[in-house]
Amino acid sequence: MPRPDGRTPNQLRPVRISRNWLRHAEGSALIEFGETRVLCAATVEEGVPRWRRGTGEGWVTAEYAMLPRATDTRGTRESVKGRIGGRTHEISRLIGRSLRAVVDFKAMGEHTITLDCDVLQADGGTRTAAITGAYVALVDAVRYLRRQRNLKTNPLTGSVAAVSVGIIQGQPRLDLNYLEDSVAQTDMNVVVTGAGEFIEVQGTAESAPFDRKLLDSLLDLAVAGCAELTEIQKKALTE
């Protein structure tokens, strides 16, 4: 089975980052991984959650959601259901953790930055696109905060990018689209810093358990893919 869009196994989909797509947000980016399109907005607010007050440290959190018709068939809104589903919770938590790994909370002071990642269109890899785009929005929000509060130290200690990898018919592939994702035997999401270190490694055997050798090849592929994404982020941030 060749890749549906003709890519080589270690090739990313075309990635586009439109910075400052929103007018009100302190940072924002519309990120596209091929047909996957996620709107990332960073909001800077004074104060921190209750359990963190008085520590002098800031906080970074994230909320992920999907528009009802981002997908092939329409999904019921979580606001209509009256509850947030497990998948949404899981991804929101992953995005928040990933970004917090490169933040020096002391340097932020007691401010909260919230990253809203709303999937406008989904074609696989929404969570990794969200992390990669949210980092760009975060950088702009932190720049805003530094100007506003005259912060001396940069609260960001590194950059973050994320990509999915998977095994299809025994072959490791980078950045799966929806079609590939739904047939992959093993699926892995990897979050890597600009320095090439791991923030999060989440591998799941979708149909068959996988061995160490396969795991290693997936990690290699992911690290290389994230390095490319880091370059794209850098370019977007200097425009």
Min dist CB 35 to a copy of itself, Å, is 6
Whether residue 125 is annotated as binding a ligand: the answer is: yes
> How far is the C-alpha of 218 from the C-alpha of 220, rounded, in Å?
5
C-alpha 12/C-alpha 104 separation (Å) is 30
- Per the annotation, does 6 bind a ligand? no
Task: Provide the minimum distance between the beta carbon of 36 and a copy of itself in the complex, in angstroms, as a whole number.
Answer: 10
Note the helical H segments in 21-157: 78-81, 86-100, 105-108, 126-149
Residues in Cβ contact with 104 at an 8 Å cutoff, skipping those fewer than 6 apart: 153, 154, 155, 156, 157
Identify which of 162, 172, 167, 168 has the alpha carbon closest to the alpha carbon of residue 130. Answer: 162
Write out the residues near a copy of itself by the rule CB under 8 A: 22-25, 28, 35, 39, 41, 43, 45, 63, 65, 67-72, 74, 77-90, 92-93, 97, 101-102, 114, 116, 118, 120-121, 123, 158, 188, 193, 195, 197-205, 207-212, 215, 219
50 is in an annotated binding site: no
Beta bridge partners of 31: 17, 38
Residue with smaller CB distance to a copy of itself, 11 or 71: 71
Tell me how crowded residue 59 is: count the other CB atoms within 10 A of its CB: 21
In terms of CB distance, is 211 or 238 closer to a copy of itself? 211
Q: Is 77 annotated as a binding residue?
A: no
Paired residues of 30 in beta bridges:
18, 39
Beta carbons within 8 Å of 37's beta carbon, 6+ residues apart:
30, 31, 119, 120, 121
Q: Residue 17 or residue 238: which is nearer to a copy of itself going by CB? A: 17
Q: What is the DSSP letter of 75?
A: P
| Least spacing, CB of residue 179 vs a copy of itself, in Å | 13
Minimum gap (Å) between residue 78 Cβ and a copy of itself: 4
Compare residues 215 and 232 and give the one whose CB is closer to a copy of itself: 215
Nearer to a copy of itself, 15 or 113 (CB): 113
- Min CB(63)–a copy of itself separation in Å: 6
Q: Which residues are annotated as a binding site for phosphate?
A: 87, 125-127
Q: Which residues are annotated as a binding site?
A: 87, 125-127
